[in-house]
Amino acid sequence: MRYLDLADHLRARLAEGRVGRGGALPSEAELATEYGTSRVTVRRALDLLRQEGLVTSRQGAGWFVALDPVRQPLGRVTTIEAALEAAGATPGRKVLAFGFVGAPAAAAAALQTSAGTDVLRVERLNLADDRPFALVVVWVRGDLGADLSRADVEHAPFYDLLPLRGVALGTVHQTIGAEIADAATARSLDTDPGIALLVARRVTCDTNGAPVLYSEHRYPADRTTLEIEFSLNVGVLEHV
């Protein structure tokens, strides 16, 4: 059987919903036996379906039906947890690292302090239905981080924690880019090295314009979309 023919069979299978618990597909070995072909052919067929956005793989776990990406609006500030709940997923979080470090160059520039100044660094994994969804690293200004514990950040987002400590949050500046997942990031996100990632870098300021947080959010590109809605007027349209 050619891999293109096998891909056609598997597409029909997906359309009929004939998959296992949690959207899992049979293993490559099981599919090879079922269709009387080689694992190389199975892998090529699955790779084709992955390029089409129909399936995804998880290291050590196998192949799964691809879920619809979570939509995150850019026109207003929201948390990952809120976006997941709006998409019907159960959010979770796991703190991977918590401690004071010398601010790296990017964090120092964002927080308007000197490189090497003590800041609180928190690395966490955001989960959707117990599966990795985003890898987030947050640097908190040192004077604010001193009042936070690991238990605090394990149970609530910074946008909830800081106002409870008297910080009035004001503005957010966010830039969005892309990069390729290295081995460590792919391992944390339970995906393959070399996949495309969406990277959102966010500076959050208080109402006086002073930066209080700098964060980097990394998402596998197939798990979320970042959306914004624009209003148009005649003056704008005349210049398009």
* Structure confidence by residue, pLDDT tens digits, 138-189: 999 999 999 999 999 999 999 999 999 999 999 999 999 999 999 999 999 9
Do residues 195 and 179 lie in contact, with contact meaning Cβ atoms separated by under 8 Å?
Answer: no
Considering only CA atoms, which of 231, 232, 228 is closest in space to residue 75?
228
Considering only CA atoms, which of 60, 50, 74, 51 is closest in space to residue 27?
60
Residues 142, 215, single domain; the answer is: yes
Residues 105, 165, single domain; the answer is: yes
Chosen domain end from 46, 65, 84: 65
Asked whether the predicted pLDDT for residue 82 surpasses 90, the reply is: no
9: number of Cβ within 10 Å: 14
Tokens 């207003």 locate to: 76
Mean pLDDT score, 45-54: 84
Mean pLDDT score, 17-26: 71
In a domain, 17, yes or no: yes
Give the DSSP letter of residue 235: H
User: Which tokens belong to 38?
Assistant: 């080689």
Position 22 confidence tier, pLDDT thresholds 50, 70, 90: low
Position 95 confidence tier, pLDDT thresholds 50, 70, 90: very high
Do residues 121 and 76 lie in contact, with contact meaning Cβ atoms separated by under 8 Å?
Answer: no
Which pLDDT score is estimated for 239? 47
Residues 109, 169, single domain; the answer is: yes
How deeply is 229 buried, as exposed, middle or buried, from its count of CB atoms within 10 A (0-12, 13-18, 19+)? Answer: exposed
Our count of domains for the chain comes to 2
Which pLDDT score is estimated for 54? 79
Among 21-35, 37-51, 106-120, name the most confident range: 106-120
Give Cβ neighbours of residue 163 (< 8 Å, ≥ 6 apart).
Answer: 169
Residues 58, 161, single domain; the answer is: no
Report the length, in residues, of the chain.
240
